[in-house]
Amino acid sequence: MSDNTPLRLSAADQQKLAQAHQLLESPGLAARFSDKLGSPIEAGLRRLPAGWREKVNNLTQYALKKALKAAISSMGEGTGKPPSPRLHKLAVATSGGVGGVFGLSALALELPVSTTLILRAIADIARSEGEDLHHPDSQLACLTVFALGGSGASDDGADSGYFAVRAALAQSVSQAAEHLASRGLTQEGAPVLVKLITSVAQRFSVQVSQKVAAQAIPAIGAVGGATINTLFIDHYQRMAKGHFAIRALEREYGAEAVKAAYLALPG
């Protein structure tokens, strides 16, 4: 296919691309929290103690490091297996109940657990779309899902579109994949991995901050905490479904052609 030839997807793949676009460019997590809880996230933000942003930023980096080692490296073999979204949602909802009861003080315990569970859910979806989870590129593609926030003014304002995020992370992902291919996860503190995790954490912390703010809304409690965590994992499952559908199409048609077709879609 020449560069000047328009991409011609099959009818099924055209629908797959459109569905991925709808997922990846959908309203962000803050909007979904506000809609479900009936209260704007700003109300929760005002109740959080001083210095909480720095704590969240530090915890997101720690959680991603732990999740990368624990979740991806332990996934079973095989590709194309159907994902198990309900099982992962139940586990994350349970951990969210703890956060709902104890609030910000429980985040140091709850976030690494829920992040690992979410990463396993992401990897489950990746495998169902034909990704080889023993390949460093696929492993890091799972990790970068945490950088995807959806659209909306309440999310990370600049460069929040799907392909803008991928472009921003591309060099770090490439360097980290080379490191993993040669040395594996035994040196997760290597500079190239730290750089990638830091970049992903900067965007992931925006979503975590919104989760924390939602949990700070009065009368949330354990039930509300479970609801918030269910929305939290559902958000990343949606991002993963879109992301790995795009990667599957790229393997079929080529990255540049799929990107052009994606950007040509309305909305």
- Percent of the chain residues past pLDDT 70, beyond the cut: 75
Band the pLDDT of 231: cuts 50, 70, 90. confident
- Cα separation values, 218 from 36, 103, 163, 167, Å: 15, 11, 37, 39
264 torsion bin: left (phi>0), alpha (psi -120 to 50), beta (else): alpha
pLDDT of residue 6: 54
As to burial, measured by CB atoms within 10 angstroms (0-12 exposed, 13-18 middle, 19+ buried), residue 10 is: exposed
Band the pLDDT of 145: cuts 50, 70, 90. very high
- What average pLDDT does the structure give for the chain? 80
Q: What is the pTM of this model?
A: 0.84
Helices 221-253 and 255-263: crossing angle in degrees, nearest 10, is 120
- Percent of the chain residues past pLDDT 90, beyond the cut: 36
Segment of 36-50, 101-115, 131-145, 150-164 carrying the highest mean pLDDT: 131-145
Band the pLDDT of 250: cuts 50, 70, 90. very high
The more confidently predicted of residues 266 and 104 is: 266
What would the pLDDT profile of 56-98 be if each residue is shown by its tens digit?
889 999 999 888 877 656 655 555 556 555 555 555 555 544 4
- Cα separation values, 93 from 30, 103, 152, 222, 225, Å: 18, 14, 25, 10, 8
User: Do residues 68 and 188 lie in contact, with contact meaning Cβ atoms separated by under 8 Å?
Assistant: yes
Residue 252 has pLDDT above 80, yes or no: yes
Q: Look at the block and give the residue holding tokens 């975590």.
A: 208
